[in-house]
Amino acid sequence: MRQTTMTLILLLFLMGCVSQSPEIFLGDATCALPCWYGLTPGKTTVAESQTILKSLPFVSSASIETITLQGVTSIRWSFTGGAIGNGILVFDKDQRIQEIRLRTTGLHLGTVIDSFGSPNSVWADYFPGERIHYGLSLYYPHQGVVVTTDDQPNSDPSKGMERITRDLQVSLVQFYAPMSAEAFLRDIENRSPENVNYILNHLQPWPGFGDNVIDIESP
């Protein structure tokens, strides 16, 4: 009886940790991608961003923090209400948004595909260990969006293939001025030339949902 009660409490706790409005992470229809609720990479300034964030009901105003470190300005915040996660705006040298980075909870890959459509390309990788990390990075270069999943694999990754399901957990959504995947990896994520080339050489077309549909990589 005690074990059953503890299990029920744990399930209720986990249910409470899932965002009730995951679509918040994908933006609304009032502005075209890569705009997110009026915040537009390459256009919106620091001052404008502060005003917009304070007006959004799912952003905790008390959590908004503007930081300048080594000449780079960023604004960080936590979500509240129907969304669980946090966000950060990174600004370029002209003090305009370079990247919108949203850490998400409760957002599934199926919802992303329904909203954004099929990505141009996908990078799949996994890292063996006590908890196998299986990740997909979905690239939408023309819209200025990258979506990353972080979930347990749905099959044995040692076989070299993986299934893609609608319920894969999305961990990160990034918005930036439209550019190639190469430019994004180099200029936004500041990856090394070797790492950029590695990812570009392992990009795959979007295979759709299904069993054993995509090759996965282990570094």
- Which residues are within 8 A (CB) of 74 and not within 5 positions of it... i.e. 6 or more apart? 66, 67, 68, 88, 89, 90, 91
Query: What pLDDT, on the 0 to 100 scale, is given for residue 9?
Result: 32
What is the reported pLDDT for 196? 97
Q: What's the whole-number average pLDDT of the chain? A: 87
pLDDT value for 189: 96
Tell me how far CA of residue 168 lies from CA of 67, 132, 171, in angstroms.
Answer: 33, 14, 10
- 143: pLDDT strictly greater than 90: yes
Phi, psi at residue 162, to the nearest 5°? -140, 150
Beta-bridge partners for 84: 105
pLDDT band at 10 (very low <50, low <70, confident <90, very high): very low
Per-residue confidence band for 97, with pLDDT thresholds at 50, 70 and 90: very high
Find out whether 213 and 144 touch, Cβ atoms under 8 Å: no
Q: What is the pLDDT of residue 43?
A: 97
Q: What is the mean pLDDT of residues 114-124?
A: 96
pLDDT at 162 over 50: yes
**Model pLDDT for residues 20-40, shown as the tens digit of each residue:** 677 899 998 789 999 999 999
pLDDT score recorded for residue 201: 94
- Which residues is 88 bridged to in the sheet? 76, 101
pLDDT digits (tens, 9 = 90+) for 178-217: 999 999 999 999 999 999 999 999 999 999 999 888 887 6
| Structural domain boundaries in the chain | 29-103, 106-219
Average pLDDT over residues 118-136: 83
The residues, ordered by sequence, that sit 6+ positions from 146 with a Cβ below 8 Å of its Cβ are 137, 138, 139, 140, 172, 173, 174, 176, 184
92-105 mean pLDDT? 96
Per-residue pLDDT band for 151 (boundaries 50, 70, 90) equals: confident
Is 134 in a helix, a strand, or coil? strand
pLDDT above 50 for 129: yes
pLDDT single digits (tens) 34-85: 999 999 999 999 999 999 999 999 999 999 999 999 999 999 999 998 789 9
Q: Higher-confidence residue: 97 or 126? A: 97
Per-residue model confidence (pLDDT) at position 56: 96
The sign of the dihedral angle between the CA atoms of 16, 111, 22, 168 is positive
> Average pLDDT for residues 90-107, to the nearest whole number?
96
